[in-house]
Structure 1
């Protein structure tokens, strides 16, 4: 069945790129509502923005959604938390143009959602089943979706900095795997890139407390890494959030190699441009048991020091 939150929950913090303080409230919503953002600092219909692949607009280093007059940026961590917790319907009110970065991961959102609990709705959930392989390539970066009976995510990265290096990880996302394995992994960057990003109006709210910053072999952020392979885990987190913009849980195998937000969105556009590549199905009980939030419990949340 479709789900929503049992009650509303609010989060506040600073936008990673804008540096602006912002408050977000995630409200329960009815069946078939889907996920929508509403800018509370704007009026009328222009304030509503769908959390959907075809509302994504070009943006460096994050995922931005927009309508004709409004936008909301850095939605990927919140979208990953919604997808990873199995939440299908929600209205997200926000009083600015960018989501708060929190600690750089999706864990604060997951903690909030689990504290409220989920409510089942009187409508069957639907899944997007991948029927044939689809791949997009940009230089040495590539992303693909191929048929599978669950959502599987595999990612590979390769950085010159020894603190990151070459990392590869694959996970079946069923039954709370996202919450146990990925949700606490933080966004990361190279120290050498920070000044360039800020010169271009990016990362204005970034600190060593809400991002993993590396310099060669060193991790500059206090406490070091939460996982030895935290960077690739975060890329998988991002991928789940970007795939959630498909509008339904995906049954398929995603593989990313040096891929980013823009390439994953290009992949979704390529899938939807090929009607034979996918099928929207009513979710059977057996399918429901294989979705990311199935059987999730608060105990699945990893403790982070």
Structure 2
């Protein structure tokens, strides 16, 4: 896939490669067709959480705006994938995870010959900052409950909750686009951010209306996009979660802090294998590819 970085405005190409058992999700950063870094998509490698999630290595190589692509992979239950990228930011595409979902569906998913491993939450873990909080609770599946509250009547208070599965992610979450306020544009540009943002990849919120001619894709598209972000940020745990996640007025920073708090408490989680039913079509491939649900 090719596109533009929403913050850098730079062109970028990404190739998703099949990967072996226990590879996890990894970014392979290239420059002039030469590999310069391999960065696991784990919370230990998070470098910045300003407006997007950025991971990197100790040599200063970073990859930003990874949350939508990670959300698509985790949402479709892909556990192992090498993500080759030739720039410092994943392309924004249309501002949602849908283009990634479509390409993954087109390529297909193959189950590997190993049980699927999860991080099973054993006790509540909560992080609170002022009125915002995020928490993980024990749960037999993966339940996501997100609430936002903005002072503009165009958004206001919105809350959605789903028991997550590839079908739910595909139909209820993947198409929700990122959003921003027109009043913030000049400030972001001066900070060197949002240089690639436009009405084809961002829901733009004016003083009294949504500026995009086509309007919204969903009722409550704003909170659905926050849920999309949360699924991607929680993927940085390194394995799929068996947990119920609740977020109130959260964002990338809070999502990351909850994952850090969970992993830091060895009594709060364990690695478990769980029988599962795959939700994928048959694909005739002659090489190992990413494990799916």
TM-score range, shorter chain: over 0.9
**What's the secondary structure of 2:110's corresponding residue?**
strand
Q: Is residue 163–residue 215 contact of structure 1 (8 Å, CA) maintained in 2?
A: no
Does residue 89 in structure 1 map to residue 80 in structure 2?
A: yes
Does residue 36 in structure 1 map to residue 26 in structure 2?
A: yes
| Contiguous gaps of at least 5 residues in structure 2 | 283-293
Aligned mates of 2:3, 2:263 — CA distance in 1: 35
Q: Which residue is equivalent to 2:279?
A: 295
* CA displacement at 1:194 relative to structure 2: 1.4
Q: Which residue is equivalent to 1:8?
A: none
Match of 1:156 among 147, 163, 168: 147
Q: Which residue is equivalent to 2:104?
A: 113
| Contiguous gaps of at least 5 residues in structure 1 | 1-10, 299-305
Match of 1:205 among 185, 192, 196: 196
Match of 2:128 among 124, 127, 137: 137
Q: Is residue 40–residue 47 contact of structure 1 (8 Å, CA) maintained in 2?
A: yes
* CA displacement at 1:217 relative to structure 2: 3.1
* CA displacement at 1:44 relative to structure 2: 7.7
Alignment of 1:272-291 (within 5 A): 272-283=263-274, 285=275, 288-289=276-277
* CA displacement at 1:59 relative to structure 2: 3.1
Q: Is residue 175–residue 295 contact of structure 1 (8 Å, CA) maintained in 2?
A: yes
Q: Which residue is equivalent to 1:12?
A: 2
**What RMSD over aligned residues (CA atoms) do the two structures have, in Å?**
1.6
Distance change >3 Å, CA 42–CA 52, structure 1 → 2: farther
Aligned length: 281
Aligned mates of 1:175, 1:42 — CA distance in 2: 35
Cα deviation digits, residues 266-288 of structure 1 (max 9, x gap): 111100111111111122x2xx2
Q: Is residue 46–residue 68 contact of structure 1 (8 Å, CA) maintained in 2?
A: no
Distance change >3 Å, CA 296–CA 166, structure 1 → 2: farther
Q: Is residue 78–residue 109 contact of structure 1 (8 Å, CA) maintained in 2?
A: yes
Aligned mates of 1:122, 1:55 — CA distance in 2: 28
Distance change >3 Å, CA 161–CA 12, structure 1 → 2: same
Aligned mates of 1:241, 1:39 — CA distance in 2: 19
Alignment of 1:32-71 (within 5 A): 32-41=22-31, 46-69=36-59, 70-71=61-62
Aligned mates of 1:245, 1:222 — CA distance in 2: 35
Report which stretch shifted further, 86-95 or 102-111.
Answer: 86-95
Aligned mates of 1:249, 1:29 — CA distance in 2: 16
Report which stretch shifted further, 189-198 or 266-275.
Answer: 189-198
Distance change >3 Å, CA 238–CA 151, structure 1 → 2: same
* CA displacement at 1:216 relative to structure 2: 3.2
Q: Is residue 176–residue 296 contact of structure 1 (8 Å, CA) maintained in 2?
A: no
**What's the secondary structure of 2:127's corresponding residue?**
strand
Aligned mates of 1:63, 1:41 — CA distance in 2: 21
TM-score (normalizing by structure 2):
0.92
Cα deviation digits, residues 192-237 of structure 1 (max 9, x gap): 1111111111111000110001123300012000012000000000
**What's the secondary structure of 1:176's corresponding residue?**
helix
Q: Is residue 109–residue 280 contact of structure 2 (8 Å, CA) maintained in 1?
A: no
Does residue 260 in structure 1 map to residue 251 in structure 2?
A: yes
Q: Which residue is equivalent to 2:208?
A: 217
